[in-house]
Amino acid sequence: MRDYFLRCQMVWRRIPCRLFLASTCAALLGIAAGRNLIGPVYLVSGSSMSPTYQEGSMIHTIPVSGSLERGDIVVLDDRKGDYALKRIVGLPGETVHIWRGYVFINKKILIEPYLAKQVYTFPRQRAAVFVLGEGQFFVLGDNRPSSADSRLYGPVERKQVKKRVMMPDTAVKARFGPIRIPTFDNAALRLPVPKLS
pLDDT at 103 over 90: yes
Higher pLDDT, 73 or 167: 73
Q: How confident is the model at residue 160 (pLDDT cuts 50, 70, 90)?
A: very high
What would the pLDDT profile of 23-45 be if each residue is shown by its tens digit? 777 767 766 665 555 667 788 88
How high is the pLDDT of residue 47?
Answer: 87
How high is the pLDDT of residue 93?
Answer: 95
Higher pLDDT, 11 or 99: 99
- Which CATH fold topology does 41-181 show? Umud Fragment, subunit A (2.10.109)
How high is the pLDDT of residue 141?
Answer: 92
Across all residues in the chain, what is the average pLDDT? Answer: 81
Q: How confident is the model at residue 188 (pLDDT cuts 50, 70, 90)?
A: very low
Q: Phi and psi for 137 in degrees, rounded to 5?
A: -130, 150
Sign for the pseudo-dihedral over CA of 80, 82, 83, 85: negative
How high is the pLDDT of residue 25?
Answer: 72
The predicted model scores a pTM of 0.72
86: annotated active-site residue:
yes
Catalytic residue of the set 45, 65, 86, 117:
86
What would the pLDDT profile of 116-157 be if each residue is shown by its tens digit? 888 889 887 777 899 999 999 999 999 999 888 999 888 999
Catalytic residue of the set 45, 47, 48, 162:
48
